[in-house]
Amino acid sequence: MQKMKPKVSCPENPLIYIIVLNYKNWDDTIECLESIFRSDYKSFRVVVIDNASPNDSFKKIIDWAEGKQYTSHLTEKGPLNHLSFPPVSKPLKYNIIHDEDLHTNSHKKHGHQLILINSKENRGYAAGNNIGLKYALQDTDFCYAWILNNDTVVPSYSLKNFGKVAATSPETDMWGGKLYFYDRPDTLQAVGATYNKWLGTTKQTGRAVIDTGQYDNFQFTEDIKIIVGASVFVSKSFLETVGLMNEDLFLYFEEVDWAIRALQHNVKVGFIPGVHVFHKEGASIGKGSNSKSEVSDYFHLRNHLLISRKYFPLQFPIVRIALLFGAIVNRMLRREFSRIPIVLRSIQNSKRK
């Protein structure tokens, strides 16, 4: 196994960069930002990357920061609206950064807590988040990054609870917390996940169970320790050693790829029960309550195979056969016959990376 680089020395209240990627769903992003800016922990900067949205998302987010735009989500109704309502005081000071300025130590010129980056090209979830991570890595004061989905809201205490644990766990470089369903806030989405290399599948731990504290002492026992990608904390040392997200994947399985590379570098992965995140799950990619969109279906299947072929070549033939027959039978049973070509195309295109 490869060793991690020496841990970056962080102050008592380390600077945490929160990376939020927006694609079309500016109203979800605004709700997420409203919850972030209520944080009890103040040593943070938020980097919002608009991933070449085809609508006016970037302008809507700017208008929100200036106090000109709100969203229908921000009302007094609903079990979680206290996390984002009433709106925080505006205007918020912000900086706009363009693609051509990203490699010019621009953080030295832009000292505000909110950074807005307008990407000219959508190269996928991993590439979009990497824009924010690369920006953070230019800052010598940067200690930790929180990759947070835009279709989430967070309680004011979550960031502070992470800071407390990170300060007392210098041997850990990657963390997760409790992820809940947004529409069922007493029910866990997951506390982590495992990977089956013989089937190429993941299984979330704690999926769809009411939280009674049964996972407060959760510890990862599998070799491949997966933090669900909607909310992932990593250290600066992690990024410098393990690297950024794998942009070949475009969408899905980024956290699995990170987890396998973390294992290769002997990274210690931690769980913080006091970090709570409420997740709408799949809003930006058109994932409905009954089935994935065709886009998400394709990338989920293709990346299922890419991960297996890259890291577990001995098991890959089994994974490929299982996916081919399993996915086709599944779609036939659901009478989604138009999706069968998507299965075949994903298998074919998995050979090209």
Q: In tens digits, what is the pLDDT along the chain, a chain of 353 residues?
A: 566 666 667 888 999 999 999 999 999 999 999 999 999 999 999 999 999 999 999 999 999 999 998 776 676 677 899 999 999 999 999 999 987 777 665 555 567 999 999 999 999 999 999 999 999 999 999 999 999 999 999 999 999 999 999 988 889 999 999 999 999 999 999 999 999 999 999 999 999 999 999 999 999 988 899 999 999 999 999 999 999 999 999 999 999 999 999 999 999 999 999 999 999 986 555 544 345 688 888 898 999 999 999 999 999 999 999 988 888 888 888 888 888 888 888 888 877 65
Rounded to an integer, what distance in angstroms lies between the CA atom of residue 97 and that of residue 112?
12
The strand pair at 94-98 and 114-119 is best described as: parallel
Q: pLDDT value at position 325? A: 85
Q: pLDDT value at position 291? A: 55
* pTM of the predicted structure, to 2 decimals: 0.92
Which of 129, 136, 120 shows the shortest CA–CA distance to 150?
129
Q: How many other CB atoms are there within 10 angstroms of residue 241's CB atom?
A: 19
Q: pLDDT value at position 337? A: 84
Fold for 15-279, please state it: Spore Coat Polysaccharide Biosynthesis Protein SpsA; Chain A (3.90.550)
The strand pair at 174-181 and 269-279 is best described as: parallel
Q: How many other CB atoms are there within 10 angstroms of residue 79's CB atom?
A: 12
Do 269 and 221 form a contact (C-beta atoms < 8 A)?
A: no
295 membership: H or E segment, kind and range: helix 294-311
Rounded to an integer, what distance in angstroms lies between the CA atom of residue 37 and that of residue 46?
9
Token duo for residue 306? 């890419």
Rg over CA atoms, the chain: 20
Token duo for residue 122? 């959508």
The counts of H helices and E strands in the chain are 9, 12
Q: pLDDT value at position 111? A: 78
Instruction: Judge if the upstream peptide bond of residue 313 is cis by omega within 30 degrees of 0.
Output: no
Burial 295-323 (b: 16+ CB within 10 A, else e): ebbbbbbbbbbbbbbebbeebbeebbebb
Token duo for residue 13? 């209240």
Q: pLDDT value at position 288? A: 45
Do 238 and 175 form a contact (C-beta atoms < 8 A)?
A: no
| Residue 69 identity (one-letter amino acid) | Q
Do 262 and 242 form a contact (C-beta atoms < 8 A)?
A: yes
Which of 48, 44, 61 shows the shortest CA–CA distance to 21?
48
Q: pLDDT value at position 305? A: 94
| C-alpha 317 chain-centroid distance | 30
Instruction: Judge if the upstream peptide bond of residue 14 is cis by omega within 30 degrees of 0.
Output: no
Q: How many other CB atoms are there within 10 angstroms of residue 170's CB atom?
A: 14
Rounded to an integer, what distance in angstroms lies between the CA atom of residue 73 and that of residue 98?
29
